[in-house]
Structure 1
Amino acid sequence: MSARTRRQKAALAVNGEESEEGNGVATTPSKRTPSKKRTRSAAREGPRENVFLFWPNLIGYTRIILAFASLYYMPLHPRTCSILYSVSCLLDALDGYAARYFDQSTTFGAVLDMVTDRCTTSCLLVFLGSAWPRWAIIFQGLICLDLASHYMHMYATLSMGGSNQSHKKIDSSRSWVLYQYYNSKVVLFICCGLNELFFIGLYLLSFSSPTLSPSLLQPVPDAQPFSAQPGNPAHPQPGSLFASPWSAGALELARANKIDSFWPWVITGVAAPVMAFKQFVNIVQMVNASKWMAEGDLEARRNRKRN
């Protein structure tokens, strides 16, 4: 073989244009056989999955749709709103079951679930604050506690426990209360469910209890005839006063169509102790997360001083 021929074959081998079997037949890059290593790697990886279309996340999207629908009906239609809101809350348990059944537990799904819970509860508490302005500061405080507690807990878990650790994985040595709360599915379901049920009961009472929410449409004693006081018998039809269905007066009209307050009182009374315990858990969770992050800060300072 001449030197020129040897140089040509060497160049072909370097450029990868010669077949892997070394039979001397040159092939073009488009017809080149893929390496066995690359083929085995692709087989191990399998088909690419779309996390956003996992069953638990689809259930999460459904929860969001139901929550928005309940907010639409919240000012004037308490029965419809309560049903939609309750179904959205019940699906919170179903998405966790689906994640375990289909082996589709994801970080995105966990965050989606937590954000949906926080947002829907906050929206309901905002309405309660507007329904009872005198007690608005209490509902505002509950919103702040709920958001701060879960944010600090999630941040502490990711920064101190690692990016792959679930916020529901609690060491019993760190907090016995949180360990019982997160590791027992029954306890977690009862606490979350009755906590939401308590606020739903308060929401229904804002439409049904004259004691808690006296309607402005009740006649006022000694009111002057033809006065502008809503509810006065000599007053014109309410429809001529409140043309907009979303006005404050329309909300009072909805309250005037009273629903029975017996079951809302029962729901609120039964769920009240569990709601109080849930707020205690939020406080423990926030304090525990603060201590955990403070321990990390002290350890980081010690490491910097040693270095």
Structure 2
Amino acid sequence: MSVRTRRQKAAETATADEKPAPTGNGVARATSAQKGAEAGPRENVYLFWPNIVGYARVVLAVASLYYMPLHPRTCSFLYSISCLLDALDGYLARLFHQSTTFGSVLDMVTDRCTTACLLVFLSSAWPRWSIVFQGLISLDLASHYMHMYATLSMGGAGQSHKKVDSSRSWILHKYYTSRTVLFVFCLFNELFFIGLYLLSFSSPKLSPSLLQPPPNIEPMTAQPGNPAHEPPSSLFASPWSAGALELARANKLDSTLPWIITGVSAPIMAIKQFINVVQMVKASNWLVEGDLATRRAARAEGKLA
């Protein structure tokens, strides 16, 4: 058989294999392409409903940061809506069966970043307490990162960071498995920091130089804290201009409600920080258990003296 004849025969065989051949009962045999079509269309995880809500949370958080220095009402409203949507994305994930690893990480990263940005602002508002806010940022990031890393490395790639066995930590098990408990703690934790943020605009008791410039000292910035807000007359040509009136209206806050918000949410916020410490310690112990198991296995194989 010539080379040309063999090639023609191979081409005819391949063509015949691609055509559906009738089976004994008259049903055509599915090709690999048809089997792929039967498996369903490729899903776009980026456009799942929970993830779209996650993107909206990011936009709202960025907008709240824009208004944060001078417009406490607008900032607090946008920031609060972004936090409340945290409960909606989980509901949509369960409703549409669209729980994904990407969505879980997006949710956690958004939570950590928005809280960290607010605490950074509070550090600038009250420099004397900046080390406390810096410590809270570090604890929040370290605790959640170590917990997620320990869950993925020790519990398996398909393990969710919210699935904590009660034998490992009953407090974390209760915290993550009860959606009500998780929502309440996250809500009041954010409310505490929002209350502090509002107090930075309304409580001369906490910062006497907040609303009035120090005597014989030229104000240098419009940021809350030390130095204090510049008067509208120094920011705008006319103190009666639309910009000056808006600035005065935005900064004129009564401290009663912020004090109530801060006082009511403070105990739950403190417990939330304790849970962060427990989470970090348990994650560290879990990682150390894995290290010890790895070293024992290596020593048994003679790879480690």
Shift of 1:36: 2.2
- Say which SS state the counterpart of residue 97 (structure 2) adopts: coil
The answer to whether the Cα contact below 8 Å between 1:154 and 1:167 also exists between their aligned partners in 2 is: yes
2 CA distance for matches of 1:133 and 1:260? 23
Deviating above 2 A after TM superposition, structure 1's stretches of 4 or more consecutive aligned residues are 7-21, 32-37, 215-220, 227-230, 237-244, 253-258
2 CA distance for matches of 1:144 and 1:255? 35
Change (3 A) 1:256 1:68: closer
What is aligned with 1:116?
110
Given candidates 16, 19, 23, the residue that maps to 1:20 is: 16
Shift of 1:228: 5.4
Question: Which deviations, in whole Å up to 9, do the C-alpha atoms of 1:82-105 show, x marking residues without a partner?
Answer: 000000000000000000101111
The answer to whether the Cα contact below 8 Å between 2:72 and 2:251 also exists between their aligned partners in 1 is: no
Change (3 A) 1:288 1:141: same
TM-score, normalising length: structure 2: 0.83
What is aligned with 1:36?
30
- Is the counterpart of residue 190 in structure 1 residue 184 in structure 2? yes
Question: Which deviations, in whole Å up to 9, do the C-alpha atoms of 1:80-136 show, x marking residues without a partner?
Answer: 000000000000000000001011111000000000000000000001111111111
What is aligned with 1:46?
40
What is aligned with 2:90?
96
The answer to whether the Cα contact below 8 Å between 1:195 and 1:271 also exists between their aligned partners in 2 is: yes
Given candidates 256, 259, 266, the residue that maps to 2:260 is: 266
The answer to whether the Cα contact below 8 Å between 1:208 and 1:260 also exists between their aligned partners in 2 is: yes
Paired amino acid for 1:144: S
Change (3 A) 1:91 1:144: same
Change (3 A) 1:254 1:295: farther
- Say which SS state the counterpart of residue 42 (structure 1) adopts: helix
What is aligned with 1:58?
52
2 CA distance for matches of 1:181 and 1:130? 32
1 CA distance for matches of 2:218 and 2:33? 81
Paired amino acid for 2:139: L
Unaligned runs of at least 5 residues, structure 1: 22-31, 231-236, 245-249
Paired amino acid for 2:10: V
- Is the counterpart of residue 165 in structure 1 residue 159 in structure 2? yes
The answer to whether the Cα contact below 8 Å between 2:154 and 2:286 also exists between their aligned partners in 1 is: yes
1 CA distance for matches of 2:213 and 2:298? 72
Paired amino acid for 1:113: D
Paired amino acid for 1:152: M
- Is the counterpart of residue 206 in structure 1 residue 239 in structure 2? no
The answer to whether the Cα contact below 8 Å between 1:60 and 1:113 also exists between their aligned partners in 2 is: yes
What is aligned with 2:123?
129
The answer to whether the Cα contact below 8 Å between 1:76 and 1:254 also exists between their aligned partners in 2 is: no
What is aligned with 2:144?
150
1 CA distance for matches of 2:179 and 2:250? 41
Unaligned runs of at least 5 residues, structure 2: 21-28, 220-229, 238-243
Q: Share of identical aligned residues, percent?
A: 67
Question: Which deviations, in whole Å up to 9, do the C-alpha atoms of 1:124-168 show, x marking residues without a partner?
Answer: 000111111111100000000000000000100111111111000
2 CA distance for matches of 1:260 and 1:39? 68
The answer to whether the Cα contact below 8 Å between 1:77 and 1:254 also exists between their aligned partners in 2 is: no
1 CA distance for matches of 2:169 and 2:6? 69
Paired amino acid for 1:50: N
The answer to whether the Cα contact below 8 Å between 1:207 and 1:213 also exists between their aligned partners in 2 is: no
Change (3 A) 1:128 1:254: farther
TM-score, normalising length: structure 1: 0.82
The answer to whether the Cα contact below 8 Å between 1:169 and 1:182 also exists between their aligned partners in 2 is: yes
Shift of 1:210: 1.2
Q: Which moved more, 1:37-46 or 1:51-60?
A: 37-46
